[in-house]
């Protein structure tokens, strides 16, 4: 998956799940190290600088895509300016 994301120049992943990844992770994953339990978050965030959006409400976007066959959009998002914050609520908008 990481290779596919890199090859296709994906900049952000939005998911309606809480982890973007498969849980539990695949036991025999080639991404498993002693410290990460086979999760790809480290590679996606630190090595690829890929933005991860989790718990997004994607039903409306998926329904619109099924109707007109358009599966691409401009994603606009800006984090909240919270002093000392680590993460912020999603405020992304998909412009189709």
**Distance in angstroms (rounded) separating the CA atoms of residues 55 and 8:** 23
pLDDT, mean of residues 32-39: 71
pLDDT surpassing 90 at residue 36? no
Task: Give the pLDDT band of residue 62 (cuts 50, 70, 90).
Answer: very high
pLDDT, mean of residues 67-82: 85
SS3 75: strand
pLDDT of residue 8: 92
pLDDT of residue 50: 87
Task: Give the pLDDT band of residue 90 (cuts 50, 70, 90).
Answer: low
């Amino acid at each position: 998956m990481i290779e596919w994301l890199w090859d296709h120049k994906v900049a952000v992943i939005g998911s309606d799940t809480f982890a973007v990844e498969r849980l539990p992770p695949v036991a025999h994953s080639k991404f498993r190290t002693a410290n990460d339990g086979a999760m790809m978050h480290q590679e996606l965030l630190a090595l690829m600088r890929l933005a991860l959006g989790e718990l997004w409400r994607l039903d409306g976007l998926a329904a619109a895509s099924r109707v007109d066959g358009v599966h691409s959009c401009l994603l606009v998002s800006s984090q909240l300016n919270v002093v000392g914050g680590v993460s912020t609520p999603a405020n992304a908008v998909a412009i189709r």
